[in-house]
Amino acid sequence: MIETLERKLIHNQNPPKELIKERSSLFDRIQYLKKNFRQEGLPDNWADLPGTGFMLNKQLDLLSLDDLGKNENKKKWLAQTSRDIKGFILEYLTEGLVFPINYAIDSNGHLIDKNYGNKRVVDIVSSEERNGSVKKVIGEKLEPFLVNASDGSIAVMDSPSGWSGLYQEDGRPINFPDSQTYVFQKKENNIVGFTIRTDFSDREHREFIRRILGEDLPENASAETYIRCGTALIDARNDTDLKEIKDVVRLMQDIRRDICKSFLAYKNRSWNEVYKDLERGDDLWHYDKITKDMVYELGDYVLDNKLNKQEIKEALAVTILRIAKFLRKDIKVSVQERIIYPTLNRQYSYDIKPEISYGSVLNEVQKLPGCAGGGSKSTSLIDSITPRFGNSNPFEKSSGTCEHCEKNTGDNHYHCPECKKEYSDETSRSPEQRTKDCKCGFKFGC
């Protein structure tokens, strides 16, 4: 039996406060996993978070050996890492639809990311992404326009799912499974921006570009072409219906309705969720209290101790596993765990689920949607204009209870939004082979 302190406490619903404090010690968790990772069902290289797409080694590359002895430099790294963790939570663990971008114009006339160490935006993006088309559009179109445009002007960059030009740490190519539309608006010297995540088809993207720019892209247009030709620069002084970011989202909603006869933005998620998140703005970056405490504990641990890069990586890996264990409600207990802990179906008030092993957590995270590579699906914020997680497959669902029939969704069945007719798993079929029309007349489209 695995003797974690968490599991020693599982039958005590009101443990002493000092034991809860001890249980939450990051140092203790790191030491425990270094000795007992196999018992927890973790691989030898557990600190790499293998197969998840959160690229631990790349994250540590942002911290040089010289930085290890300078707390000021470690603070900068921690600030960037905190943002990356939050992006991971937003797109990966909670599968959000809207991701805020907070840019500014510096004294040199450059577009900088205020939440990413004031780095110039064009320098954050990889020159490999879609053969450099993303980097080129940002440097040659978006930055000059937003720096010099009148207040209230809007820029839009449309990015379909598919080939990325990027590679995972193990060398495998990465495909972006989601469509993302970037919308920026100038507010004096600040740029308010959002990434809108959808499962738009190429046809919907072409119609969006046609309506916003008057450009007709061919059906066989490459991903690079969508980036280069689908970037709209809308000056506030011109006569336009697109005066606010929500106006762009409303246009997207109209296109989805007109082409797909659908009122959903992504999978079974509504446009109302998108609008609500737009109103929240930068509040989307805020952690809940428990997650915030975990991130703060990571910061204190890194700043208060003389650690090498491997030790920092272990601390970051444990922090991400802890956050995943707390936030994901669908982590399955392994068969072995069910045998050892047959009475763990009670509710506990702890900040994490004590009955779930870290091996089960890693296994679940490896399965989660994402697009910077990894196991089944996965991500890293690095080298991209914004985090990119999720899965564009409208038929694929995570394990849970179906809201329409109360059956388990792990079999990937789905329902018609109109008549609620049930359809069996179509994830293994090509888009051309999937159901297009329901007998009630509803068109799944795309």
Structure confidence at residue 42 as a pLDDT band (50, 70, 90): very high
The 8-class DSSP code of residue 89 comes to I
Q: Are residues 139 and 278 in the same domain?
A: yes
Per-range mean pLDDT, top range of 17-21, 176-180, 414-418? 176-180
Structure confidence at residue 444 as a pLDDT band (50, 70, 90): low
Residue where one domain finishes, among candidates 268, 284, 300? 284
State what percent of residues in the chain have pLDDT above 70.
74
The 8-class DSSP code of residue 119 comes to E
Tens digits of per-residue pLDDT, 218-236? 999 998 999 999 899 999 9
Instruction: Evaluate whether residue 390 is within a structural domain.
Output: no
Mean pLDDT of 85-96: 84
Q: What is the reported pLDDT for 411?
A: 63
Instruction: Evaluate whether residue 374 is within a structural domain.
Output: no
The 8-class DSSP code of residue 141 comes to I
Please, what is the average pLDDT of the chain? 78
Specify the pairing of strand 179-187 against strand 414-415: unpaired
Which residue type does 346 have? R
Q: Are residues 168 and 49 in the same domain?
A: no
For residue 237, pLDDT over 70 is answered with yes
Q: What is the reported pLDDT for 297?
A: 94
Residue 136, both tokens: 């080129």
Q: Are residues 75 and 135 in the same domain?
A: no
Q: How big is the chain, counted in residues?
A: 446
Tens digits of per-residue pLDDT, 111-161? 998 777 788 999 888 888 888 899 999 999 999 999 999 999 999 999 998
Q: Are residues 237 and 147 in the same domain?
A: yes
Instruction: Evaluate whether residue 382 is within a structural domain.
Output: no
Structure confidence at residue 429 as a pLDDT band (50, 70, 90): low
Q: Are residues 14 and 101 in the same domain?
A: no
Residue where one domain finishes, among candidates 331, 352, 367? 367
For residue 75, pLDDT over 50 is answered with yes
Q: Are residues 274 and 291 in the same domain?
A: no
Q: Are residues 146 and 236 in the same domain?
A: yes
Q: Are residues 220 and 105 in the same domain?
A: yes
Asked whether the beta carbons of 34 and 314 are under 8 A apart, the reply is: yes
Q: Among 148-162, 282-296, 371-385, which stretch is predicted with the lowest mean pLDDT?
A: 371-385
Tens digits of per-residue pLDDT, 53-68? 688 888 898 888 888 9
Q: What is the reported pLDDT for 402?
A: 60
Instruction: Evaluate whether residue 117 is within a structural domain.
Output: yes
Q: What is the reported pLDDT for 192?
A: 93
Instruction: Evaluate whether residue 341 is within a structural domain.
Output: yes
Mean pLDDT of 263-291: 90
Q: Which domain holds residue 123?
A: 96-284
Instruction: Evaluate whether residue 134 is within a structural domain.
Output: yes
Instruction: Evaluate whether residue 105 is within a structural domain.
Output: yes
Give bridge partners of residue 269 from the DSSP assignment: 266
Q: Are residues 148 and 183 in the same domain?
A: yes
Q: Are residues 76 and 113 in the same domain?
A: no
Structure confidence at residue 392 as a pLDDT band (50, 70, 90): very low
Q: What is the reported pLDDT for 267?
A: 86
Q: What is the reported pLDDT for 212?
A: 94
Q: Are residues 167 and 68 in the same domain?
A: no
Structural domains in the chain (count): 3
Query: What's the rounded Cα separation, in Å, for the pair 106 and 242?
Result: 26
Q: Are residues 252 and 338 in the same domain?
A: no
Q: What are phi and psi of 184, to 5 degrees?
A: -125, 145
Instruction: Evaluate whether residue 20 is within a structural domain.
Output: yes
Q: CA of 446: how far to CAs of 199, 254, 290, in Å? A: 9, 15, 40
